[in-house]
Amino acid sequence: MKPHAMQRGAGQAPVAPPFTVLYRDNRLVVLDKPPGLPVHPGRAGGVSVEDWFPALSRHRNGPWLAHRLDQDTSGCLVIALRKQALVAVQACFAAGQARKTYWAIVQGTPGTARGVIDTPLARVEQGRQWRMQPVKTGGQPARTRWRVRGTGHDGAGQPITWLELVLETGRTHQARAHCAAIGCPIRGDTRYGARDAGALHLMSRSIHLPLDVPVHATAMPPEHMRRIMDQAGWTVPPDSVEKEVTRCSPTH
C-alpha cells in the first residue's frame, strides 16, 4: 500500500502541544489526541494535529498520519515518522492485525454482558448530513466485539453503560454506528440517535501493533468522560503504560 502524505495545516499552532506522547521510538509516535482537535485541517482551515508535525520530526521524510480519529474522539493516534514505518503500519491495519480498543459511554443498557456486531455499513446522505447505516447488502464489512465494563445512571437518573469495544475492522464511524445498532447510542452523538447534544463520550483507549518491534499505547479518558464515570461510581484502571517524559522533542 502506498503511503498517503497529508498536507500540513495552515493554522498557526501554539508553541505548547495540546497532547501528550504515549509512545515514541525512531519509527512511530502515538499521541493522546484531545477531543475537539481535528487530525488534519478541514475546508475552513484551522489548527489540527498536523500543525505540530515539525515538533515531532524535522526529517523531510515524514511525519504522516498512519490512520485517523474523528475530531470529537480522543485517545491513541499513530503518527509515522518515516515512510517505511508508514507502509508497515498501513499493512498491519490492512491485514487486520492491529488491535484497536475503544471505550464508550452509551445510553441505556444492552441486553447481554457481551456480544459481537457483524453488520456491514454503508454511507447514506440525509439532507446536508451523512451517516453510516447498517445494511444487509452493498455495504462494507464491519465487525465490532463489545463487553460491558459498568452500568449505572447519569445525573438525570438515566441508565448509562460503559462499553469496551474492539474494532476488528476500521470503517468510518464504526463504533458510533454499531453502538446505535444495538440500541445504545453514544452519549452526545445526536447523529446516531443520542437524546442530548454535547461532548462525544468515545475514546480510543489503546492500540497494539504487532510489528517487528511491537507498539502498545494506552490513553486515559478525557475530562468529560472521567466526570461521568466518577458520577456513576465506576473505577477506571490506572494507566499502566509509561509516558514519555519529554513532550514532542524533535528528531533529526
- Which residues are part of the catalytic machinery? 70
How big is the chain by its Cα radius of gyration, in Å?
18
- Give the span between the Cα atoms of 176 and 91, in whole angstroms: 25
Which neighbouring-strand residues pair with 151?
Answer: 161
Mapped onto helix, strand or coil, the DSSP state of residue 120 is: coil
Which neighbouring-strand residues pair with 129?
Answer: 126
State yes or no: cis peptide before 63, omega within 30 of 0.
Answer: yes
| Cell numbers that stand for 56 in this block | 515531532
Alpha helices in the chain (DSSP H): 53-56, 83-94, 174-181, 223-232
Q: Are the C-beta atoms of 229 and 221 separated by less than 8 Å?
A: yes
Q: Pick left, alpha or beta for residue 10 (phi over 0 → left; psi -120 to 50 → alpha; otherwise beta).
A: alpha
